[in-house]
């Protein structure tokens, strides 16, 4: 049977021999014959500690997903699965599903068939196994390689794809997913994270019915402004923190993304994850390799909480820059001065940073440009020289003055953007992304530079390099990006406008690679008008990100809760500001569950407020290891009650920190005891409330020893005699 099938394929090759030389025809035929036997009944296992993803081949030599789920016992039980779903569905053939890949060949044929050729698996590190599966079209010279990295301890898998060909002219790629996954369950529940400026990562869960559900972005730059590139999927039943089978997935790409969830007529679910191909047909040249971004995912059998911890620990070890390096606390000047400042005003603020006890003073927007001074957001962007009226002695003077007062100095940059009212725009109008024959469109009075142009890449890199080189001692950068792509055309790309969305992101990474080659460990915050860039494609170059411009303490509980599903606490910059009507203690307690910073007028603080803030910084330093690197348990969701409770535990289960927030409580609210998690049931623990405001004492009656078993199975009351709205507690739990 197999020999007869081979004969039929060779006949097909002969029929298209006008396109192929006889030498190539024979070569392809020999390749098919060589691999025909080995392609039958192949089993390829990608496994972590608790998860197994198994591929095989069918009688036609195509790759199928045999199994994806929890590790089964005994070890090979997962191979008994009878699934026949093709792993990476191609367009133009017989499948009725949304394809992972679509190619139009030189002869106009819009089909692709992929057959298994070979696979390789190797141990990259003790924790990482790399697997590649090579697939080829039996008629056209197209190769697709599916890549996987399995992170054993973290139960995380990273998947991406390489596409290449040797046709005589470019082929047209119109779909190019990073990965496909297939499920067969009774029901599916999807959680998405969406929002807008100051409303980031709002969580919505819905039941998936037959048809297609798409989560995507078409904004290009600041791509995550309305939809975050991450999701949770519960199988069979709606999951909670501790129960249910949950897939958590995210795309490592700082540009347009697309997650497509298709439930077919047999109630099977098919997920396509990758770059959004919207307006992005890609002409792939012969021998060019198109590499998709990585789809990063984990499968938890213990609810959303375990899925989060898997991703967080992977991120600390592999996903973010210097994940285990201490982060800097800082004071930002924005709330105190805006763009209205001078040297004297700024240097006086250094003293406030010293009084707070933070590590660094960050100078935000407004310090640059002379011909078109940056006194508002309508001018100067692109002209990155210090404004001589505001800063007659330049940035170097500020660096030195900050150091004299015992604090480091950081700077704000937005190097990808330009104001039309700037010298840069006047000198290089061809460097701007804008439509010909149309009126210019402004958002926040600015436009985006054409980063696909190598000259612009040099300029953007030069902004960073010049700022750092001319001002030795700058210890931190806030990299901002306040505009998305609209009304967009690249003068540099000319007839290849459909490459723009992809090439912009690739070009950004080229610049960031150069920055990191020269400044490998400089702390840099990723900011984009709030949380417009929050993805693991960028975070390998950054130490943290700005989750939202909304720093209202109450709103931040929801925002930080949402981000915590995919990001560790040391990446989520959380600043104490004057937004909101809550007390200083409440706003501080909220910020301390992320990467603490301040953006306040220190001089306006009372003596007690200043003492409290200084002590809070010291307390944060003491407990930060547990918050940054510990295991997070979301004990009470703000979406379910008028309170929220978070717990971080150390790996050795000797210490834990509880953050307890009462929100807009009402008279009839009933708050039950809270059962802790992640402790050692055999250990005894003492609980102490910390971060108290001067002159106050704890109102929680917890001053005794508790066994871990009691704390986890009986629980403790975290509500004093009377629940007061917008109050909070931080508890330190220590094993004795």
Q: What is the DSSP string of 436-477?
A: TTS----BTTBEEB-TTSHHHHHHHHHHHHHHHHHSTTEEEE
Looking at residue 40, its pLDDT comes to 59
The fraction of the chain above a pLDDT of 90, given in percent, is 92
Residues annotated in the binding site, as ranges? 197, 364-365, 444, 478-482, 527, 549
CA 556 – CA 569 distance, rounded (Å): 13
**How far apart are alpha carbons 262 and 271 in whole angstroms?**
6
- In the predicted model, is pLDDT for residue 34 greater than 80? no
CA distances from 471 to 385, 393, 406, 466 (A): 12, 11, 17, 8
pLDDT at 613 over 90: yes
Across residues 646-655, what is the average pLDDT?
98
How much is the average pLDDT of 250-274?
98
In 516-571 the beta strands, taken as DSSP E runs, fall at 524-526, 544-545
Q: Tens digit of pLDDT for each residue in 344-390?
A: 999 999 999 999 999 999 999 999 999 999 999 999 999 999 999 99
The tokens for 150 are: 């399995």
Express each pLDDT in 320-331 by its tens digit: 999 999 999 999
Q: Is the pLDDT of residue 552 over 70?
A: yes
Q: How many residues does the chain have?
A: 736
State mean pLDDT over 291-303: 98
User: 164 has which bridge partners?
Assistant: 143
Q: Which residue has the higher pLDDT, 610 or 31?
A: 610
- Convert 116-150 to b/e letters by CB count within 10 Å (16 or more is b): bbebeeeeeeebbbbbbbbbbbbbbbbbbbbbbbb
At 484 the pLDDT is 97
Instruction: Decide which of 318 and 34 is more confident.
Output: 318
- Spatial CB neighbours of 50, under 8 Å, sequence gap ≥ 6: 70, 71, 155, 299, 301
Q: In sequence order, which ranges of 564-707 are alpha helices (DSSP H)?
A: 584-591, 607-629
pTM given for the model: 0.94
What does R_g of the chain's alpha carbons equal in angstroms?
A: 28
| Cα 456 from Cα 659, distance rounded (Å) | 46
Report the pLDDT averaged over residues 626-633: 98
Q: Where are the alpha helices (DSSP H) in 377-531?
A: 394-404, 423-427, 454-470, 500-518
- Which structure tokens are listed for 81? 């699965």
Is 90 exceeded by the pLDDT of residue 165?
yes
pLDDT (tens digit per residue) in 511-549: 999 999 999 999 999 999 999 999 999 999 999 999 999
Paired with 448 in beta bridges are 417
User: Is the model's pLDDT at 448 over the cut of 90?
Assistant: yes
**Cα 41 from Cα 58, distance rounded (Å):** 6
What is the spatial distance between Cα 320 and Cα 573, in angstroms, rounded to a whole number? 14
What pLDDT is recorded for position 19? 44
Q: Tell me, yes or no, if 549 is annotated catalytic.
A: yes
Q: How far is CA 690 from CA 563, 592, 657, 699, in A?
A: 25, 12, 10, 12
Give the end-to-end CA distance of the chain in Å, rounded to a whole number.
71
The pLDDT confidence band at residue 22, using thresholds 50, 70 and 90, is: low
- DSSP conformation class of 284: E
Catalytic residue among 98, 383, 480, 589: 480
CA-CA-CA-CA torsion for 450, 453, 458, 462, nearest 10 degrees? -10
What would the mean pLDDT of 543-559 be, rounded to a whole number? 98
* Tokens describing residue 545: 């990100």
pLDDT at site 74: 87
* Torsion sign, CA atoms 628, 629, 630, 631: positive
Structure tokens at 513: 């690679």
Q: How far apart are CA 667 and CA 181, in angstroms?
A: 47
pLDDT value at position 554? 98
**Sequence-ordered list of residues with C-beta below 8 angstroms from that of 349, at least 6 positions apart, any chain:** 331, 333, 336, 337, 361, 602
Binding region for substrate: 197, 364-365, 444, 478-482, 527, 549
Cα distance between residue 467 and residue 455, in whole Å: 18
In whole angstroms, how far apart are CA 90 and each of 95, 131, 180, 490? 8, 21, 11, 31
**How confident is residue 722, by pLDDT bands cut at 50, 70 and 90?**
confident
Residue 463 has pLDDT above 50, yes or no: yes
Supply 668's token pair: 């009839």
Q: Which of 281, 549, 615, 709 is catalytic?
A: 549
The share of the chain scoring above pLDDT 70, in percent, equals 94
Q: Answer yes or no: is pLDDT of 21 > 60.
A: no
Domains of the chain: 44-303 (2.70.98.60), 633-735 (2.60.40.1180)
Q: Which distant-in-sequence residues (6+ apart) come within 8 Å of 158 by Cβ?
A: 148, 149, 151, 252, 294, 295, 296
């Amino acid at each position: 049977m197999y020999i007869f099938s081979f004969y039929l394929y060779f006949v097909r090759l002969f029929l298209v021999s006008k396109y192929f030389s006889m030498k190539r025809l024979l070569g392809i035929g020999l390749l098919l014959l060589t691999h025909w036997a080995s392609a039958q009944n192949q089993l390829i296992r990608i496994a972590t500690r608790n998860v197994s993803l198994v591929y095989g081949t069918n009688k036609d030599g195509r790759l199928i997903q045999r199994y994806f789920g929890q590790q089964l016992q005994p070890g090979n039980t997962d191979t008994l699965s009878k699934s026949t779903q093709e792993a990476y569905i191609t367009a133009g053939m017989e499948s009725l599903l949304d394809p992972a890949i679509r190619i139009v060949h030189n002869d106009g044929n819009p089909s692709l068939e992929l057959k298994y050729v070979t696979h390789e698996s190797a141990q990259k590190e003790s924790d990482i196994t790399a697997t590649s599966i090579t697939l080829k079209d039996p008629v056209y010279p197209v190769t697709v390689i599916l890549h996987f990295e399995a992170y054993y301890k973290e139960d995380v898998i990273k998947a991406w794809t390489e596409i290449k060909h040797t046709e005589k002219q470019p082929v047209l790629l119109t779909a190019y997913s990073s990965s496909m996954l297939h499920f067969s369950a009774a029901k599916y529940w999807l959680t998405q994270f969406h929002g807008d400026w100051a409303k980031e990562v709002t969580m919505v869960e819905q039941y998936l019915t037959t048809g297609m559900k798409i989560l995507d972005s078409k904004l290009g730059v600041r791509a995550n402004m309305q939809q975050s590139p991450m999701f949770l999927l519960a199988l069979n039943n709606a999951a909670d923190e501790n129960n249910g089978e949950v897939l958590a997935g995210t795309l490592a790409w700082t540009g347009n993304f697309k997650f497509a969830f298709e439930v077919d007529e047999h109630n099977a679910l098919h997920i396509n994850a990758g770059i959004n191909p919207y307006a992005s047909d890609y002409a792939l040249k012969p021998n060019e390799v198109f590499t998709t971004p990585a789809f990063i995912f984990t499968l938890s059998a213990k609810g959303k909480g375990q899925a989060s911890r898997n991703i967080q620990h992977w991120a600390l070890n592999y996903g973010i820059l210097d994940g285990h390096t201490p982060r800097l606390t800082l004071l930002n000047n924005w709330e105190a001065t805006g763009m209205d400042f001078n040297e004297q005003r700024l240097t006086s603020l250094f003293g406030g940073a010293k009084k707070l006890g933070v590590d660094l003073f960050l100078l935000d927007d407004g310090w640059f440009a002379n011909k078109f001074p940056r006194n508002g957001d309508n001018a100067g962007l692109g002209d990155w020289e210090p404004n001589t009226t505001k800063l007659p002695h330049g940035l170097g003077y500020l660096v030195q003055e900050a150091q004299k007062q015992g604090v480091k100095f950081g700077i704000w940059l937005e190097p990808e953007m330009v104001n039309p009212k700037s010298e840069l725009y006047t000198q290089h109008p061809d460097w701007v992304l804008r439509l010909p024959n149309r009126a210019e469109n402004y958002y926040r009075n600015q436009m985006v530079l054409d980063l696909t142009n190598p000259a612009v890449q040099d300029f953007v890199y030069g902004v960073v390099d010049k700022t750092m080189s001319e001002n030795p001692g700058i210890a931190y950068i806030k990299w901002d990006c306040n505009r998305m792509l609209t009304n967009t055309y690249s003068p540099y790309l000319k007839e290849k406008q459909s490459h723009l969305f992809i090439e912009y992101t690739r070009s950004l990474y080229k610049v960031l690679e150069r920055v990191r080659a020269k400044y490998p460990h400089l702390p840099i915050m990723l900011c984009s008008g709030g949380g417009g860039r929050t993805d693991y494609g960028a975070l390998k170059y950054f130490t943290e990100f700005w989750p939202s411009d909304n720093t209202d303490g109450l709103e931040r509980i929801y925002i930080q809760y949402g981000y915590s599903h995919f990001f560790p606490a040391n990446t989520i910059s959380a600043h104490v500001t004057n937004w909101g009507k809550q007390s200083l203690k409440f706003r501080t307690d909220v910020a301390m569950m992320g990467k603490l910073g301040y953006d306040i007028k220190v001089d306006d603080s009372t003596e007690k407020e200043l003492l409290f803030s200084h002590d809070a910084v010291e307390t944060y330093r003491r407990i930060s290891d547990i918050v940054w690197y510990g295991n997070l348990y979301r004990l009470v969701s703000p979406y379910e009650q008028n309170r929220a409770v978070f717990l971080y535990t150390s790996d050795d289960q000797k210490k834990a920190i509880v953050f307890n927030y009462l929100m807009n409580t009402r008279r009839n609210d009933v708050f039950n005891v809270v059962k802790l998690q992640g402790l050692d049931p055999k250990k005894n623990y003492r609980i102490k409330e910390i971060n108290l405001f001067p002159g106050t004492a704890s109102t929680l009656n917890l001053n005794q020893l508790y066994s871990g078993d009691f704390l986890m199975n009986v629980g403790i009351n975290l509500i004093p005699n009377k629940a007061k709205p917008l109050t909070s507690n931080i508890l330190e739990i220590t094993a004795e």
